[in-house]
Amino acid sequence: MLTLLAFLVALGILIAVHEYGHYRVAVACGIKVLKFSIGFGKPIYTWRLKGRPTEFAIGMLPLGGYVKMLDEREAPVDPAERHLAFNTQPLKSRAAVVAAGPMANLLLAIVLYSVVNWSGLQEPKAILASPVAGSIAERAGLRGEELVQQAAFEGEPLETVRSFEDLRWRLTQGALNGRDVRLAVSQGRLSSAEAPSKEVVLKLGELNASDADAQLFRKIGILGPWTQAVIGDVMAGGAAEKAGLRSGDIVRRVADLAIVDGQQLREAIRGQAQAAGAARTPSAQTWQIIRGGQTLALEVTPQIRQDGNLSVGRIGAYVGAAPELVLVRYGPLDGLWQGAVRTWDVSLLTLRMMGKMVTGQASLKNLSGPLTIADYAGKSASLGWSAYLLFLALISVSLGVLNLLPLPVLDGGHLMYYLWEATTGRTVSDAWMETLQRGGVVVLLCMMSVALFNDVTRLFG
């Protein structure tokens, strides 16, 4: 129920803001707006504002919306009102009305990011867990428990890293854009921001990354923030329960391996599938744990499970304590600026990913449809209003960027027509318009089909 409600609220807000952008600029340009609708199909509810010619409506199908303006191309127009018709407006006014929808979504994203920045968000501190063996992070000299103080792309000045999420975003950008990242780190998770630091360079340019997925971060070697190697909830019937492990046990050693954090313990458990080989029966391990101040030795035999195409070890328990948190909050101007920067960065990243998908450099699996969006809407809402606002901001950016693409059925397609008109002094002919519209519909339907297929595969596969 929460997922459905969060999804409908998200759609309603994003569609209303997009269409209001078109409506507000149309009214400002002196265009008569006949109808403003959120949703398609038969209206559930309609109303009019006093002294306004516009009918406002909420349709039965909440998958879009529209603003219907007075236009000679759609219906006869009274000569007395011809100056109020959309098609009689100067080119700059028509372009402004069309561009206003996507721009409203981008402005909404700036506002949402800014609100979260101003209110503050508890995020994991940028303390690194043990890197994945053989990864870029390990080759750079990272060993775990380092506090990341600053980061920057190679050739740019270092900037303060406020949280692990801040660091993860920079690593994502670096990997997808093929840029190395410099980190200024201090040794020891209890180090202060003023502690002496050293610089390391993560050679992300050699990844040639196309997808921002879990495997990408395994190659980088930074999977999460530092956590204590403690056992959390234990599942009934799992390997952990059978071995006698309890919630709260602190793991100090697995066989001959000294354990320093939760990430290293998870990797040791996962790796049991490879150690088992073709027999698929992992051997028992001697775990040294601390329980109630006493040191105990337990024999633990992980179970092998499938994780996608990989076989991994599992013990049937939550591994690792909650990470250390830090409050990330910005002042009025800094928060607004950071909101604008994040919107710009996400927009550029979205465009680059779309470009890579078109050229075949990135997988079409990156396309997501309504089912995935609904799933994330529910998950973010369950985490609190800040997470939900961040989700809304991300989707709002995606919607704004998508609508600016030069596809004839989208706002960007109409802007493409106006660019042709501004360049040649002639409007696009009706024959060409019809052909381009049909082609645009085909492309859009193909994108929607792929996105829906990805949704079904991701959620039910």
| Rounded percentage of the chain residues whose pLDDT exceeds 70 | 93
What's the confidence (pLDDT) of residue 70?
A: 92
Which of 209 and 8 is assigned the larger pLDDT? 8
Q: If you average pLDDT over residues 270-280, what whole number do you get? A: 61
Q: In which band, very low, low, confident or very high, does the pLDDT at 283 lie, cut at 50, 70 and 90?
A: confident
Distance CA(407)–CA(415), nearest Å, equals 10
Residue 183, pLDDT > 90, answer yes
- Residue 461, pLDDT score: 59
pLDDT at 192: 55
* Dihedral, CA of residue 139, residue 142, residue 143 and residue 144, to nearest 10: -140
| Residue 41 pLDDT | 84
Among the listed ranges 115-124, 346-355, 371-380, which one has the minimum average pLDDT value? 371-380
Average pLDDT estimate for 263-271: 84
pLDDT at 49: 85
The domain 136-220 having CATH identifier 3.40.50.12160: the answer here is no
pLDDT at 310 over 80: no
Domain segments of the chain: what residues?
Answer: 91-119+333-461, 136-220, 231-322
Q: Which CATH topology does 231-322 take?
A: Pdz3 Domain (2.30.42)
Q: Do domains 136-220 and 231-322 have the same CATH topology?
A: yes
pLDDT value for 342: 93
Strand ranges of the sheet holding 250-254, from the earlier edge strand across to the other edge = 257-258, 250-254, 285-291, 294-300
Give the pLDDT score at 336: 96
Annotated catalytic residue 19 = yes
Quick one: pLDDT band at residue 347, thresholds 50, 70, 90? very high
The pLDDT tens digits of the residues spanning 188-227 come to 655 555 566 789 999 988 887 666 666 788 889 998 899 8
218 burial type by CB count under 10 A (0-12 exposed, 13-18 middle, 19+ buried): middle
Of residues 335 and 427, the one with the higher pLDDT is 335
Is the pLDDT score of 151 beyond 80? yes
Q: On the CB side of 380, how many CA atoms lie within 13 Å of its CA? A: 22
Mean pLDDT value of segment 128-149: 89
- Residue 440 tokens, joined: 């645009």
Distance CA 331, CA 114 (A): 10
Question: pLDDT value at position 209?
Answer: 67
Higher pLDDT, 25 or 275: 25
The pLDDT tens digits of the residues spanning 428-456 come to 877 887 887 888 788 878 877 877 777 77
> Which position among 19, 145, 146, 267 bears the catalytic label?
19
Q: Is the dihedral of CA 256, 261, 264, 268 positive or negative?
A: positive
| pLDDT value, residue 329 | 93
pLDDT at 99: 95
Residue 232 reports pLDDT greater than 60 = yes
pLDDT at 208: 74
Range 70-83 burial, b when 16+ CB lie within 10 A, else e: beeeeeebeeeeee
Percent of residues in the chain assigned helix, strand, coil, to nearest 5: 50, 20, 30
pLDDT at 276 over 70: no
Residue 193, pLDDT score: 53
Please tell me which residue, 152 or 308, carries the higher pLDDT value: 152
- pLDDT at residue 343 above 60? yes
